[in-house]
């Protein structure tokens, strides 16, 4: 039965790209099987000087150095902050969503929803998404 249980843990772990497996001692004494990676995203502003806006979130396709952004990093899930909630979205679901919403790859000189935007003097590529859209693709929503 122990081998079957371990096989089931591995099977479930396939839902995630990388999991940190518990040692035998952690499994027996602390009663957990594996950890999953989260990347936490706090409330942001649409632009400098503006108030934090829980209706939008930035998604980073490339970082300021022009390298792979956090959307393509190793987190399994993102936890997006709202005033009263955390919206949990899987990385794979968010990648698929961004690919669909930004299919035309429209560039904008100012921040606009689902348009690609690059800040002056930086190599980043970012886009704005609606928080309500993140809620629709979320795996869960947690109260603060």
Q: Indicate the SS3 state at residue 7.
A: helix
pLDDT of residue 72: 97
C-beta neighbour count of 134 within 10 angstroms: 23
- The encoded tokens of residue 32 equal 């957990």
For residue 73, pLDDT beyond 90: yes
What does the pLDDT read at residue 1? 61
């Amino acid at each position: 039965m122990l081998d079957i249980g371990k096989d089931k843990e591995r099977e479930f772990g396939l839902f995630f790209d990388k999991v940190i497996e518990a040692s035998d001692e952690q499994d027996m004494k602390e009663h957990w099987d594996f950890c999953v990676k989260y990347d936490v995203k706090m409330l942001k502003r649409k632009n400098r000087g503006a108030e934090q806006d829980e209706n939008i979130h930035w998604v980073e396709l490339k970082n300021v150095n022009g390298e792979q952004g956090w959307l393509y990093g190793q987190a399994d899930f993102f936890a997006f902050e709202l005033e009263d909630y955390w919206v949990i979205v899987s990385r794979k679901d968010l990648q698929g969503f961004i690919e669909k919403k930004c299919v035309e790859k429209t560039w904008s000189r100012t921040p606009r929803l689902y348009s690609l935007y690059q800040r002056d003097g930086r190599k980043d590529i970012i886009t704005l998404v609606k928080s309500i859209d993140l809620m629709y693709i979320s795996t869960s929503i947690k109260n603060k």
